[in-house]
Structure 1
Amino acid sequence: MPSVIRKIPLDTATHHHAHDYHQIVIGLRGQAEFEIEGLGGEISALSGCIVPANHVHYYAGMGNNQQLILDLPAQAPALTGFQHELSHLFDAPRFFTLDDPLRRYLDFLLHELSSLAMRTDNHQSDRLAATLLGCLHARLTNGAEPSQRQRLDLQRLDCYIEHHLSDRLSVGDLARQACLSEAHFRRRFREQVGISPWQYVRRKRIEAARHLLDDSRLPLTEIAALTGFSNQSALSRACRDTFGHSPSRLRRTVQREGSQVAQALASPPLSS
Structure 2
Amino acid sequence: MVFTTIAGVCAMSLLDLRATNLAREHVAHSHGHHQLILATRGTTELSIEGNAERVTGSRGCLIPCAHHHEYLGDGNNRTFVLDIPVASLPDLRDASEMERLFDKPRFFGVPPELNRLADSLMQQLEQCPALHSEIAALLLRALYLHLESQPLSAHGSAYAAGRDGRLDMARLNDWIDRHLAEEIRVDCLAAQCALSVGHFHTCFRERLGMTPLAYVQQRRLDHARTLVNHSGLSLGQVAALVGFRDQGSFSRAYRRAFDVSPSRERRLSEALAQG
Range into which the TM-score falls when normalised by the shorter chain: 0.3 to 0.5
Q: Which has the higher helix share?
A: 1
Give TM-score, length-normalised by structure 2.
Answer: 0.46
